[in-house]
Amino acid sequence: MRIVLGVGGGIAAYKVASLLRLFTEAGHNVTVIPTEASTRFVGTATWEALSGNPVSNSVFDDVHQVNHVRLGHEADLVVVAPATADLLAKAATGQAGDLLTNTLLMAHGPVLFAPAMHTEMWQHAATRANVETLRGRGAAVLEPATGRLTGADSGPGRLPEPEAIFAAAMALVEGRQDFQLPLAGRTITISAGGTREPLDPVRFLGNRSSGKQGVALAVAARNAGANVRLLAAHMEVPPPAGVEVVQVETALQLREAALAAAADSDVVIMSAAVADFRPAEVSDTKIKKRDDRTDPVITLVRNPDILLELVELRNSTVRGEGHQLIVGFAAETGDSDGDVLAHAEAKLQRKGCDLLVVNHVGTDKVFGQDTTSVVILARSGSEPQEASGTKTEVSAAIISRIAFELNAVSPRA
Ligand code: CTP
């Protein structure tokens, strides 16, 4: 496929280098057209090296090839990222002052704008009107991500992660109406991995959680356009790019991080394996073997139930239930008191979360494996939903269920 990648003059231009890589690695032929302003952020040499094609932003280069006509005509897809307020305005009013705006006017195929700007500029009536005009003409304008912007400000206006723009672009080319990222503008906090509860400076009580499930969820949420915060307890896999990582070790640290993160999260997913107990005392020095040969005794105390506290916190706020979706995980085996689903159903009611993702342990080992099989239970009482496959596939199913629930309860503004 021939892709024209227009790069606007915003600080997020550096992220577009990764987007270009995703396109070229998928086998597409990409011509980059940076605006004059954008070359102050990323130079044309970078685009030439990464795309393997000559780069120009002037209609007066290679005039004999009539680039301003040819590039637009030949492109199967035009992507503009970051689409600044200025570029959206120029595109909406049909200006043709440089090679990129000329190309936009000549484009025959789908056009995708991935905006990035300060929140006030994004929300300004002028920008809103330009976006509506472009959408009205059939162009696809993504919702920007929410989060930290260049200065001290934060809000909607961040460039969606390269993988998310890539996913939207491919959906658009396939003619799918749902190219719009389902979690754009949403903030999702995901806890992952296993907590470690120290006994002394060298020893801890831990568990076998690898963090793979939580990381796969973070990737799926990021690719769906969400602003993702990963609360990472001990993990065997590295955190993915494009997510904010908060490192924690113990259940108490995770609790603190989760309660703080919940304040501005649309969704909290507790996929971490949290130790239910911790040693009552943590020795400052290494516990030594004793001369009298008596065995040390470790006394354990209960850790707080973070999931339960998150639900209580959410329900006690002014906005109450409905403004935040809380998702728990449960690893269950059936026993004489009931089967897996009966136990899971009881846990869902006990914890009060909105969705509970249930792993049936025993039949297949979940910890550290790449494949899994889950049932998603909803407190609303809808039918249990099954999902199985790789942790990536299962995570995509969980995230699309979350997006569905979220958009049903609180449609995007
Ligand atoms: N969880 C939590 N805080 C804890 C323990 C667990 O937030 N101290 C969360 C997990 O992240 C998971 C869910 O609660 O989302 C289910 O955890 P689980 O340990 O399976 O539930 P328990 O209530 O401990 O039930 P059980 O008696 O089966 O261990």
Q: 328 CB less than 6 Å from ligand 1? A: yes
What's the pLDDT band for 410 if we cut at 50, 70, 90?
low
Q: What single string gives the DSSP state of each residue in 265-297?
A: -SEEEE-SB--SEEES---SSPPPPPTT-PPP-
Of the residues 67, 102, 207, 223, only one is catalytic, namely 207
In sequence order, the 6+-apart residues with CB closer than 8 A to the CB of 339 are: none
- pLDDT tens figures, 90-146: 999 999 999 999 999 999 999 999 999 999 999 999 999 999 999 999 999 999 988
Q: What is the pLDDT of residues 380-405, one digit of tens each?
A: 888 899 999 998 999 999 999 999 89
Stretch 205-213: mean pLDDT, rounded? 95
Mean pLDDT of 310-327: 91
Report whether pLDDT(313) > 80. yes
Ligand 1 atom with least separation from CA of 308: 7
Residue 216's SS3 state is helix
Q: Is 252 in the pocket of ligand 1 (CB under 6 A)?
A: no
Residue 102, CA distances (Å) to 105, 173, 194 in order: 5, 21, 53
Lowest mean pLDDT among 230-244, 305-319, 330-344: 330-344
Q: In angstroms, rounded to a whole number, what is the distance separating the alpha carbons of residues 227 and 234?
A: 22
Instruction: For the chain, give the percent of residues with pLDDT over 90.
Output: 75
E-state strands within 154-250: 154-158, 187-192, 197-198, 204-205, 227-232, 244-247
Nearest to 131, CA basis, from 97, 171, 98, 83 = 83
- More reliable by pLDDT, 70 or 411: 70
Is 65 a residue whose pLDDT tops 60? Answer: yes
Cα–Cα distance, 114 to 167 (Å, whole number) = 12
Q: Give the CATH fold of the 187-409 domain.
A: Rossmann fold (3.40.50)
Pocket of ligand 1, candidates 329, 345, 376, 398: which has the most ligand atoms within 8 Å of its Cβ, to mutate? 329
Give the model's pLDDT for residue 368: 66
Helix (H) / strand (E) element for 165: namely helix 162-173
Q: Does residue 29 carry a catalytic annotation?
A: no
Q: What are the extents of the domains in the chain?
A: 2-180, 187-409
Tens digit of each residue's pLDDT (9 = 90 or more) over 159-200: 999 999 999 999 999 987 778 888 988 999 999 999 999 999
For residue 330, the CA-to-ligand 1 centroid distance in Å is 7
Q: Percent of the chain having pLDDT more than 70?
A: 97
Residue 263 and residue 180: Cα distance in Å, rounded?
Answer: 26
Q: Does the C-beta of 355 come closer than 6 Å to ligand 1? A: no
**Average pLDDT, stretch 10-38?**
96
User: Count of H helices and E strands in the chain?
Assistant: 13, 19
Taking residues 327-342, report their average pLDDT: 90
Average model confidence (pLDDT) for the chain? 92
Task: Tell whether ligand 1 has an atom less than 6 A from the beta carbon of residue 326.
Answer: no
Atom of ligand 1 nearest to the CA of 350: 23
213 Cβ closer than 6 Å to some ligand 1 atom: no
- For residues 338 and 17, the model is more confident at 17
The hierarchical CATH code for the domain 2-180 is: 3.40.50.1950
Give 58 or 189, the one with higher predicted confidence: 189
Question: CA torsion sign, 98 to 99 to 104 to 110?
Answer: negative
Instruction: Determine if the peptide bond prior to 201 is cis (ω within 30°).
Output: no
| Ligand 1 contact via 156 beta carbon (within 6 Å) | no
Atom of ligand 1 nearest to the CA of 309: 7
Q: Do the Cβ atoms of 249 and 234 come closer than 8 Å?
A: yes
